[in-house]
Amino acid sequence: MLNIVVCIKQVPMVTELPWDEKSGTLRRDLAAGMMNPACKHAVEAALQIKETQGASITVMTMGPPAAEEVLREALAMGADRGVLICDRMLAGADTYATSFILASAIRKKCPSCDLILCGAYTSDSETAQVGPQLAEELNLPAAAYAENIEVNSRTLRVRRLVDHFRETLEMELPALVTVSMERYQPRYASFSGLDRAFTRAGISVLNAEKLGIASADLAGQGSRIRVRNVFVRKAQKENMMITGAAVRAANEFLDRYEGKIGAAIGKSIEAKK
C-alpha cells in the first residue's frame, strides 16, 4: 500500500488584508481561513489513487492553531491522518525555510512515504516554490503542474501542460508532484464525514522542539528573503459611483466613458446629437 503525504495550506478568504507595517507581513489572524484551492485538488488526487489501488494518506500543514481546520476538512474528504506543525518560532518563514521545516516533519512522521503531493500554487503568496524546494530538501525526483497522475507498481507517470508543451514524464517512487487545478475537481466533504472528522482524534501537533529544530538551525536554514515594504497596487482608482434608474445609469455611464471604451475597442462611440 502506498504511503502518500499531501502538504496543504490554509489561506485567507478575503481580498484585502491589513498588514503589519513593522514586520511587513500580513495579519493573517484577522481573516477567516480556507483550504488553498490547489491544495484541495492535491488531496483529491491522493484520494483517487487511494480508491484505485489503496493508500494511506497523511495531510500535513504548517500554520497557526486555526490551521487545524484545513486538516479536519481533508480528513472529512477521506484522508487518514493529519499533522499540524505549529510554533511561533516558525512564523514568517519564506519558502526556503518552509520547505526545510516540512521536510523535517516528513522525515519524522512519514519517513517511508512513497509519494508527496502539493498544490501547484497558493492563492495568497502564489510563489509556487514550496513544492519544488521540498523536492530538493528530500532529494526526490519531481514534477510540477501535474494534470494527471498514475502509479504503476513503483513507477509514477505524470501528464502536464508546461509552456504550451504537453509532456508525459516518468519517474520511480519515492517522488514529489505538485498538482494543478485542471483536473481533480475536489469532492465535497459530507456532513457525516465532517462530523466525524471534527470529533475524532487523528491529528498530531508538532512544534519546533518535537521536530528537533533549534533556533540555531533556523539561523542556518531560516528565511533568505526579507520583505522591506508592502503596498497596494491600485493607488489611483477612479472611484465613481453611478446610481438611479437603469436607463439613466446606462446613459450616464456611456456619456462619461464612451471615449475610454471606444479607445479600448478601436471604434468610435458617441451619442447622436
Partner 1 sequence: MMNKQKSIWVFGDYRNYYQNRVTLQLLSRAVDLSRTLKAEVCAVLFGHDIEEWIMEYTAHGADRVLAIDHPSLTSYSTENYLALIEKLARERDPDIILIGATDFGREFAPRLAKRLQTGLSADCVGLDITSEGLLVQVAPSFGGNMLAEIVTERHRPQMATVRPGTFKEIPHNNERTAIVERLPLPADLPASRVRLVEYERAVQREHTIENATVIVCGGRGMGNKNNFKKLDELAGLLGGDVGATRPVVYAGWAGHDSLVGQAGKHIKPKILFSFGISGAIQHTAGLGEADFIVAINKNPQATMMKMADVAIVADSGDLLRHLIRELKKRIRE
* Interface of this chain with partner 1, residues 129 to 148, rule: CB under 8 A: 129-130, 132-133, 135-137, 141-145
Q: Is 231 in the site for partner 1 (CB under 8 A)?
A: yes
**3-state secondary structure at position 149:** strand
Longest CA pairwise span in the chain (Å)? 78
Q: Is 30 in the site for partner 1 (CB under 8 A)?
A: no
Q: Which DSSP letter does residue 4 get?
A: E
Concatenated DSSP letters for 42-106?
Answer: HHHHHHHHHHHH-EEEEEEEESSGGGHHHHHHHHHHT--EEEEE--GGGTT--HHHHHHHHHHHH
Q: How far is the CB of 81 from partner 1 (least distance, A)?
A: 27
Q: Is 87 in the site for partner 1 (CB under 8 A)?
A: no
# residues near partner 1 by CB under 8 A: 86
* CB nearer partner 1, residue 169 or residue 203: 169
Place of cell 482608482: 237
CA pair distance 93, 61, nearest whole angstrom: 13
Q: Which of 78, 83, 86, 77 is nearest to 60 (CA)?
A: 83
Binding window for partner 1 (CB under 8 A); candidates: 69-77, 85-93, 199-207, 246-254: 246-254
Contacts of 23 (CB under 8 A, 6+ apart): 92, 227
Binding window for partner 1 (CB under 8 A); candidates: 47-55, 90-98, 189-197, 198-206: 90-98
Contact 224, 94 (CB under 8 A): yes
Q: Is 24 in the site for partner 1 (CB under 8 A)?
A: yes
Q: How far is the CB of 202 from partner 1 (least distance, A)?
A: 28
Q: How far is the CB of 167 from partner 1 (least distance, A)?
A: 4
According to CB under 8 A, which one of 48, 80, 87, 181 is a site residue for partner 1? Answer: 181
Binding window for partner 1 (CB under 8 A); candidates: 47-55, 60-68, 108-116, 118-126: 118-126
Q: Is 250 in the site for partner 1 (CB under 8 A)?
A: yes
Contact 93, 101 (CB under 8 A): yes
Q: Is 219 in the site for partner 1 (CB under 8 A)?
A: no
Q: Is 56 in the site for partner 1 (CB under 8 A)?
A: no
Q: Is 188 in the site for partner 1 (CB under 8 A)?
A: no
